[in-house]
Structure 1
Amino acid sequence: MVKNGFHHFLVTGERGRNSVPYFDPLLFAQQLLTMEATCIDTTEFYGQDLQEHLTTITKEFPEPNFDNLFQFAFSLLPICTSGSEFYEKAWLKLLSVRDEERPCAVVSFEDFDGPRQQFAAHTVATLSMLVMALKCAKDQIPEDYQEVYHKRVYDYSSCIADYQNETNYGFGGNVQATAMAVQVSHTPSR
């Protein structure tokens, strides 16, 4: 009998190349968002707290096959939208991404395998996802960090606008990155 990676993970909590077929944290986050959008309780799904499982996965960031900020920020969205709380290191990670020397450099071009135009779109998508995750978690961030929170949201949003102004094709000519950037501009803080 072939084990289903998702089912095996829910039953045993094991995942990875040696224990089960590859289990994609980003796909898991998408599945949880879909379940939440259709009013399925992800904290009590056939006896499993899927939010707790996703939290466990995000605590392992970064690891092979789950090592970029887009994946990390996206994986935090279902946790936040379900009303569950981020663990402290999650929102600290979101707040500490910024490099003061290169404020818009959330993705290294040296690590990016593709043309420059795709790099700009990937950077905009990552910045957008960081802003959406931060806005979702706003109420969970302690008062001591609110100033940093507002600065990061402003800085990341400014970087998105800078990328738009620098390119002739909006956000690298990528409709998904453009849609995410527009969504950021219309996403209120929770």
Structure 2
Amino acid sequence: MKGFVSICLLLLALSSTVIAKPPRRYDLELEDATSQTPTACVDDDVTCALLDATKWLLQQQEEDWGWNGGISTSSVVLAMQLANESWYHGKALKTQLGIKQLEIELLAELGRSAKLSGCGTSSQRHSRLAKISVGRLALYILALESTCHDTRDFYGNDLVELLEHNMRRFPREGFNNHFQYSLGVLALCQSGDGSVKLKHIRELLAGQREDGCYRFDGEVGPDVASLSVMALSCAKASVPASFRSRFVQKFNNTVSCIRSKQQEDGSFGNGISTALASQALKAANIPPSLWRADVALQRVLETQHEDSHFGNLGATVQILPLLANRHYGSVEDVKMACNIQGTDSDNSQSGGAPSVPTEQPGPPITIQILIENGIDTEEPSVTVSATAPAGSTLFQFLQEAMASSEGAFSFESKMTDFGNSMTSFNGLANDGVNHRYWSILIGSDRESASTGTDGIFPEDGGEYIFYYRSY
């Protein structure tokens, strides 16, 4: 671990230093008014629920720019990034202050551990670091990874090494269930470079009962099994060929456990359990028709309160990724925006914090855009080509296509808190009354997009289908 002595002193100082009171929020709100002004959502229940929930989360930001006294800052940052990676890249002042507070909170927590354990030789390092819980450290790593930090060099600390060390003694007091362990595996997996080992996968599988469920799951609600499936789905690339058949068998057992928990009304228990189960089945690529995905989503939406949260802050941050068609294993997708934005991979100059992105347009590339009406199948499809610099968003390609099509192709969109939302193609608009909307499919496999047109960066020769269908 780099710079141990100096960072130890820094952390000790942080843990005992009173941070000055921040400027009045009113002043910053004036400066940041444009980026924080709410906009109306499109006529779509899921989009509206997503927008309203994120606005509510932002309203819970406290005077120090964290959430819930620092307990939930990492969870909120992670949820906001999974909901829309543009939240960080938009560079809004409140957003950047929230992420800076995330860094301060982690440094303070490292400092408290150093103060309790003593600080000096490298032989004391692991006893000091072991005082940070695996669950909290995993959430810190996931939040930092989603906001373009280098978790291998966070102000001189290798957080990934720290996490792996803290996961070695399992089970033990305070770290004895597979929900926390699954969070740890997810964080190792999302940090890349082969951090997940076979021993981690074996431990997750060993916690299963014969029916594929986990001991801490009750009669209703497969919460631990759901997080385990998300972790295993992410880590499956690390499974050696000699263990693959065993892995697949045990993995499928846990998926079956989750599916067996679905009730007649489509839920998997309460709103949190239903959201986690839905995210897990999505991560495992289980066809939606096999588990009534749309019905489960409706049960989750019904738990949203009039003031837009889902019962409390903790429930809201766990449900938010589902509303964006993502899950806790989607951090790798969110991180793609870091490379596209030109973030410098060497962040040691800024203690692991993200550097200022640079924009360098790439060479021109061409994609195909298809417009298909899945409701009126007699309506002919429209195909147009679009050319734009590499690194352009799909929305920018749409603009180029409309400008060059000489009237053969047109679209309309609305700006929301999550970027441009497509509302109409060639005069055929979203129909909220009859639940008919445009969706985005990608490639010959027609895979559903996990983000909107502002979050998709086409590759040369790619095919992007805008498909009109009912939900």
Interval containing the TM-score (normalised by the shorter chain): 0.7 to 0.9
Q: 2:214 matched to which residue of 1?
A: 106
Q: Tell me, yes or no, if the aligned pair for 1:55 and 1:79 is still in contact at 8 Å.
A: yes
Distance 1:152 1:128, change over 3 A: same
Aligned amino acid, residue 96 of structure 1: A
Note if 1:7 corresponds to 2:111.
yes
Equivalent residue for 1:96? 206
Q: Which has the larger radius of gyration?
A: 2
Q: Secondary structure at the match of 2:207?
A: coil
Indicate which of 262, 268, 273 corresponds to 1:171: 268
220, 237, 248: which one aligns with 1:120 = 220
Q: C-alpha separation between the residues in 2 aligned to 1:98 and 1:145?
A: 17
Q: Distance in 1 between matches of 2:216 and 2:143?
A: 31
Residue 26 to residue 139, structure 1, CA distance change in 2 (3 Å): same
> Alpha-carbon deviation of 1:15?
4.3
Q: Alpha-carbon deviations, 1:26-55, whole Å to 9, x = none? A: 111111100000010101111111000000
Indicate whether 1:152 and 2:257 are aligned: no
Look up the equivalent residue of 1:141 and give its one-letter code: V
Matches of residues 1-190 of structure 1 in structure 2 within 5 Å? 4-9=108-113, 12-15=125-128, 23-84=132-193, 85-100=195-210, 103-107=211-215, 120-121=220-221, 124-165=222-263, 170-172=267-269, 174-187=270-283
Give the secondary structure class of the aligned counterpart of 1:177.
helix
Deviation track 1:136-170 (CA, whole Å, cap 9, x = no partner) reads 111111101111121122111111111113x6672
Contact 1:29 1:78 in 2 (8 A): yes
Paired residues of 1:43 and 1:51 also in contact (CA < 8 A):
yes
Work out the CA distance in 1 between the residues paired with 2:284 and 2:265. Answer: 28
| Structure 1 segments of 4+ aligned residues over 6 angstroms from their partners | none
**What SS does structure 2 have at the residue aligned with 1:160?**
helix
In 2 relative to 1, CA 87–158 (structure 1 residues): closer, same or farther, beyond 3 Å?
same
Structure number with the higher helix fraction is: 1
Aligned-pair CA distance for 1:188: 5.2
**TM-score using structure 1 length:** 0.78
Amino acid aligned to 1:6: L
In the aligned structure 1, how far is the partner of 2:229 from the partner of 2:284? 10
TM, length-normalised to structure 2: 0.34
CA distance in 1, matches of 2:232, 2:172: 22
Q: Distance in 2 between matches of 1:133 and 1:56?
A: 18
- State the identity %: 28
CA contact (8 A) 1:97 1:106 kept: yes
Once the 2 structures are TM-superposed, how far is the Cα of residue 23 of structure 1 from its aligned partner? 2.9
Count of residue correspondences: 172
Quick check: 1:70–1:126 contact (8 Å CA) kept in 2?
A: yes
8 Å CA contact 2:152, 2:158 repeated in 1: yes
What residue ranges of structure 1 are gaps of 5+ in the alignment?
Answer: 110-115
Q: Give the whole-Å Cα distance in 1 for the aligned partners of 2:248 and 2:213.
A: 18
Give the CA deviation at 1:9: 4.2
Q: Distance in 2 between matches of 1:82 and 1:188?
A: 20
Q: What is the rounded CA distance, in whole Å, between the counterparts of 2:212 and 2:241 in structure 1?
A: 25
Structure 2 unaligned blocks of 5 or more: 1-11, 17-107, 120-124, 286-328, 330-471
What RMSD over aligned residues (CA atoms) do the two structures have, in Å? Answer: 2.7
User: Does the aligned pair in 2 maintain the 1:129–1:180 contact within 8 Å?
Assistant: yes
Name the one with the larger strand percent: 2
